[in-house]
DNA sequence: CGCGATTTAATCGTGTGCGATATAATTAAA
DNA sequence: TTTAATTATATCGCACACGATTAAATCGCG
């Protein structure tokens, strides 16, 4: 929200999202450092673990990110040996991102994330689910306005 | 959350926060462009409109940001003529941030933000308040773990 | 008082994010 | 079928965000 008469910054829901998101990244940091991944890189890897061989555009659509953000990020993942980037022979405009064996193997090193994070979140599964659904609904509303 | 057996990225509450936060800044963008402010700069201005003359450390504490982020941001606000940066005579280690007249005047140009944003959020006041409180509670839990 | 420990900002390097623009490939139109 | 419009990435410039380090000022303890 914005500056209604007596609204302080702490009351802005935009700021609660902004600061909570950063807080989450800070919790992930020590876990991801062991894998040599940043948080956005981890998000891309999660997508690829779900379904390998996606285009830059497909990844961007799911993460709500532009190619100007993803291209350098994907090149870093490639340089780290986690993915390969290859043109789609069927449509040379597209670049397909594929996991390497080491990239696929990284998934095993994330098995203990769940426990660490549920601990850090400190809320019940039901409560988390409801909160997540509400945040997603808010995101849909916002994207309708921005997109 | 992380990768429990069948959890997809869309189910991660961390990602819902991450993407919703970005969605919010995209909604703010056209409004803030008129003032020549970025979203983090706007957050600093809101703090200063609430209470003028805060130190870098106080601002960072409320925004959960480091001096390595704030120092260049504040210099840009100074270069834009919105704030002044001056050492605290009582403790020369601290830098006090004070609004200029033009910086104080910017507040008037944000009166229509509230309407735009409530529109974009598309939720009732009561629902927003509850959501915000839950997000803040989550943030507190996370910060206990990271800090 | 003196001096080491602490506090507070600033600096530096790396990695996002995004708007604007460029380039190459594909598709649609005349 | 040559040309015009569209699509998919890439590039560039700017602004965060943070960890690690540095430098200056203050504090605290003998």
Average pLDDT, chain A: 94
CB atoms within 10 A of CB B15: 25
Partners of A15 on chain B (C-beta within 8 Å) are 43
Average pLDDT, chain B: 94
The DSSP symbol for A54 reads: E
Report the distance separating Cα B61 and Cα A118, nearest Å: 25
Q: Is the pTM of this model over 0.75?
A: yes
Residue in A closest to B61 by C-alpha? A19
Would you say A37 and A29 are in contact if contact means Cβ atoms under 8 Å apart?
A: no
Of B104, B117, B35, nearest to A145 by C-alpha is B117
In this prediction, residue A4 carries a pLDDT of 45
In this prediction, residue B147 carries a pLDDT of 67
Report the distance separating Cα A85 and Cα B112, nearest Å: 46
In this prediction, residue A94 carries a pLDDT of 97
Residue in A closest to B11 by C-alpha? A132
Strands B83-88 and A91-99: unpaired
pLDDT tens by residue, B42-73: 999 999 999 999 999 999 999 999 999 999 99
pLDDT bin (cut points 50, 70, 90) of residue B3 is: very low
Report the distance separating Cα B122 and Cα A92, nearest Å: 41
Contact of A50 with chain B, judged by CB distance below 8 Å, is answered with yes
Q: Domains for chain B: give ranges and CATH numbers.
A: 35-109 (1.10.10.10)
Q: Which of A8, A118, A143 sits opposite B23 (nearest CB)?
A: A143
Q: What percentage of chain A exceeds 70 in pLDDT?
A: 95
Distance of B54 CA from C6 C1′ (whole Å): 22
Per-residue HEC secondary structure of chain B comes to CCCCCCCCHHHCHHHHHHHHHHHHHHHHHHHHHCCCCCHHHHHHHHHHHHCCCEEHHHHHHHHCCCHHHHHHHHHHHHHCCCEEEEEECCEEEEEEEEECHHHHHHHHHHCCHHHHHHHHHCCCHHHHHHHHHHHHHHHHHHHHHHC
Q: What percentage of chain A exceeds 90 in pLDDT?
A: 91
Report the distance separating Cα B44 and Cα B85, nearest Å: 13
The DSSP symbol for A113 reads: H
Residue B24 and residue A142: Cβ atoms within 8 Å? Answer: yes
Q: From the CA atom positions of chain A, what is the Rg in Å?
A: 18
In this prediction, residue B10 carries a pLDDT of 87
Report the distance separating Cα B135 and Cα A15, nearest Å: 10
Checking if the pLDDT of A84 tops 60, the result is yes
pLDDT tens by residue, B103-127: 999 999 999 999 999 999 999 999 9
pLDDT tens by residue, A40-77: 999 999 999 999 999 999 999 999 999 999 999 999 99
Mean pLDDT calculated for residue range A9-16: 94
Mean pLDDT calculated for residue range A92-121: 96
The least confident of A15-19, A117-121, B5-9 is: B5-9
Q: How far is CA B70 from CA A26, A129, B98, B99, in A?
A: 17, 34, 14, 16
Strands A91-99 and A54-55: antiparallel
């Amino acid at each position: 929200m914005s500056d209604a008469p007596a609204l302080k910054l702490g009351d802005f829901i935009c700021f609660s999202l902004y600061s909570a998101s950063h807080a989450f990244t800070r919790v992930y940091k020590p876990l991801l450092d062991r894998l040599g991944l940043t948080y956005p890189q981890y998000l891309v890897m999660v997508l690829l673990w779900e379904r390998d061989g996606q285009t830059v555009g497909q990844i961007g659509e799911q993460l709500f990110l532009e190619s100007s953000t993803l291209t350098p990020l994907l090149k870093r993942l490639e340089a780290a040996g986690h993915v390969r980037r290859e043109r789609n022979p069927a449509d040379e405009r597209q670049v397909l991102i594929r996991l390497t064996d080491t990239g696929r193997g990284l998934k095993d090193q994330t098995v203990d994330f769940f426990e660490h994070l549920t601990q850090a979140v400190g809320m019940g599964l039901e409560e988390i689910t409801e909160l997540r659904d509400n945040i997603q609904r808010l995101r849909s509303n916002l994207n309708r306005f921005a997109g």
